[in-house]
Amino acid sequence: MSEQINVAVLGLGNMGATHVKAAIESPWVSNIIGYEPDSERAEQRGSELKIKTTSNLDEILNDSSISLIYIATPNPTHVELTTKALRAGKAVLCEKPMGESLEEAREMIAVQQETNGWLQLGFELHYSTLYKKAKDWIDQGLIGDPVNTHCRYYCSEFHKKNTWRSNSEGSLIGEKLSHYLDGQRWFIGSPVESVYSITAPKVVKYFNHPDNHQINIKFANGAISTLIFNMFMPETDAVDPLLEVMEKQSDDGHYLQFHIFGTEGAIETDVFRRRIRRWKFTDGPEQLISEIAETIHFNKEDDLEWFHNVHGQNIRVSELVAKGLPPETPILDSYESMKLCFAAELSEKENRIVNLSEIK
């Protein structure tokens, strides 16, 4: 095994705690330090997470023994902290989005290129078994050429009033939907040509941003994709000790599905039914014949590994850095997904189709 590395986690909220847990369990990590700008909160979270913490960012940036920094702070700080870490010579895994504007995303890319630094964005679908299996089936040619993808994502309102997410001026496209737009790019495997996104009047009145989106994408190879999102129809989560949460959500209006249609078959990923299915198309004497060729179910104990594998992503990133290997999802590819997010926002704002050639 390569030499172990020391890591830092910036931001010790819920996502930061996930990063800390992965670092603790990584065989590639020796020591961990956490950062919160408020000294009292830093001390409190250090005690709760059982790690050393600091409220002095320079203590981390100036420590030559720290090789990797995980950034799990609120969105407005992503660019500032990433650029400081890169200029300090650290490898960086930054949670999405890549800034709150196209200009901020460009700044992050410019600093990465200036420093030739190690930088990966937290698109954990690439590490989640459900979506890796779909991509593997596509790459094996089992559905022919993918020509159309649909993503249906309905969730209940869980941000709550007067939180930084409900008060955010930015939309949920970069914050939340970027994962699934990135996934559609990954499945289709062709550059995005244009996007047309629309949003209906808000249902959740206390949001500063839209609570629904319909995003339509055209790819250079002629394929198309649609993402439909709302965050108000499914039943509000009220913990029932007699029901397992995903069992309840599977039939209360929650959906998180991809349908990937190819020239020779199709794939469905379904988070709440804990399954992935594949159809095979054949040319019958009278009509196209479609049959379900393969179905895989996963267990609730494997939920996070299958559809939200931040933990596995972070352990793998620590391994890559420890071994001196490059990022597995190139930052310029992640930038293309963020450009798509900003183009979708622009499309909604100006009520028009936006060509990605407009977004440099």
Mean pLDDT of 313-340: 97
Domain range summary for the chain, segments of one domain joined by +? 5-121+310-314+321-326, 125-298+339-358
According to DSSP, the residues that pair with 288 across neighbouring strands are: 283
Return the CATH fold of 125-298+339-358.
Dihydrodipicolinate Reductase; domain 2 (3.30.360)
Answer yes or no: is pLDDT of 89 > 70: yes
Coil vs helix vs strand at 111: helix
Residue 249 CB burial class (10 angstroms; 0-12, 13-18, ≥19): buried
CA dihedral in degrees (100, 105, 111, 113; nearest 10)? 160
Residue 170: pLDDT band by 50, 70, 90 thresholds?
confident
Cα(124)–Cα(311) distance, integer angstroms: 9
Residue 168: pLDDT band by 50, 70, 90 thresholds?
confident
Q: What is the 3-state secondary structure (H, E, C) of 240-307?
A: CCCCCHHHHHCCCCCEEEEEEEECCEEEEEECCCCEEEEEEEEECCCCEEEEEEEEEECCHHHHHHHH
Answer yes or no: is pLDDT of 17 > 60: yes
pLDDT on residue 241: 67
Residue 33: pLDDT band by 50, 70, 90 thresholds?
very high
Cα(119)–Cα(325) distance, integer angstroms: 12
Answer yes or no: is pLDDT of 184 > 70: yes
Cα(272)–Cα(125) distance, integer angstroms: 16
Cα 67–Cα 73–Cα 75 angle in degrees, nearest 5: 120
Contact 182, 120 (CB under 8 A): no
41-59 pLDDT per residue, tens: 999 999 999 999 999 999 9
CATH 3.40.50.2300 fits 5-121+310-314+321-326, yes or no: no
According to DSSP, the residues that pair with 213 across neighbouring strands are: 229
pLDDT on residue 225: 98
pLDDT on residue 248: 84
Token pair listed for 131: 């979506």
Answer yes or no: is pLDDT of 243 > 80: no
What is the chain's mean pLDDT, rounded? 95
Contact 93, 314 (CB under 8 A): yes
Tell me the backbone φ, ψ of residue 120, rounded to 5 degrees: -135, 145
pLDDT on residue 239: 65
Answer yes or no: is pLDDT of 1 > 60: no
280-311 pLDDT per residue, tens: 999 999 999 999 999 999 999 999 999 999 99
